[in-house]
Amino acid sequence: MFAGKWTQKPEETRQQKIRRLWEALDRADAVVIGAGAGLSASAGFTYSGERFEKYFCDFEKKYGFHDMYSGGFYPYDTLEEYWAYWSRYIWINRYTDVPRPVYEELLDLVREKEYFVLTTNVDHCFQKAGFDKKRLFYTQGDYGLFQCMEPCCQKTWDNEGVIREMLERQKDMRIPSELVPRCPHCGKPMTMNLRADDSFVQDEGWYRAAERYSQFQKDHRGMRILYLELGVGYNTPVIIKYPFWKMTRQNPEAVYACINFGEAAAPAEITEQSVCIDGDIGEVLGQIKMADAAEAPSL
């Protein structure tokens, strides 16, 4: 569908792009937010460096990995070690708050609009910031849910209480054996509800969210829609990025906006409908908010 030629409209200044994005947001009948890991990174959920050292220096010293992602794929010898690592990981990336109010600032920009959020993030930041949970579709799961590792059934279970206990009772990078989570139905070990392969459980909540997103698209077909892509890379472009391009091209009234650090571009076929801004998402949202305030009528 796309020829593989990319554009960022380099003749535009940063301020001109901010202005065009503000105008697209202001006139939009609806906003579809597509959010990836870059959004949470902008808000402070980083997975290496100082934050990794603070929570995982003992794991780094023993196992030799240097970031949280690598630790998540490490082949631990026992489930007790595995859950000692993952309980810390889940706690700090799901049950603690992000350091910077980027999600709240995003909500301020869209709260008066018809909006829907499609995200590959699994950290619950949208709901903690106050977004309507009925306008959210977490396509890749949720750190806050367990599922059977097999899986023997298409069900998930909340994990906050168990994760908290694992965190409090772990010692020497191991949890007590009795805390290893097991499926209530078959007794086999449980794992996080994260999409990694075909064992991912899409429970009733997942399908309800998918249906709400589908209905939102139908209800706003052909309208002035802003497809606002935030921090989406190329690990899973078929979920957000490619569909946003396709829907923009199919709708002359649509605008595609991409804010990303180092990866802000659009296909040549939708250049005139696109606004691509290379930069920190939080900073750009702040600039859009300033543009909005500048246009507000004085009382």
Q: Which amino acid belongs to residue 2?
A: F
Rg of the chain, C-alpha, whole Å:
21
Long-range contacts (CB closer than 8 Å, 24 or more residues apart) made by 134-138 = 134/212, 135/212, 135/216, 136/209, 137/209, 137/210, 137/212, 137/213, 138/206, 138/209
Q: CA-CA distance, 110 to 259, in Å (whole number)?
A: 16
> What are φ and ψ of residue 41, in 5° steps?
-65, -40
Q: Which residues are annotated as a binding site for Zn(2+)?
A: 148, 153, 183, 186
Q: Which residues are annotated as a binding site?
A: 148, 153, 183, 186
Q: Which amino acid belongs to residue 288?
A: I
Nearest to 70 by CA among 94, 89, 84: 89
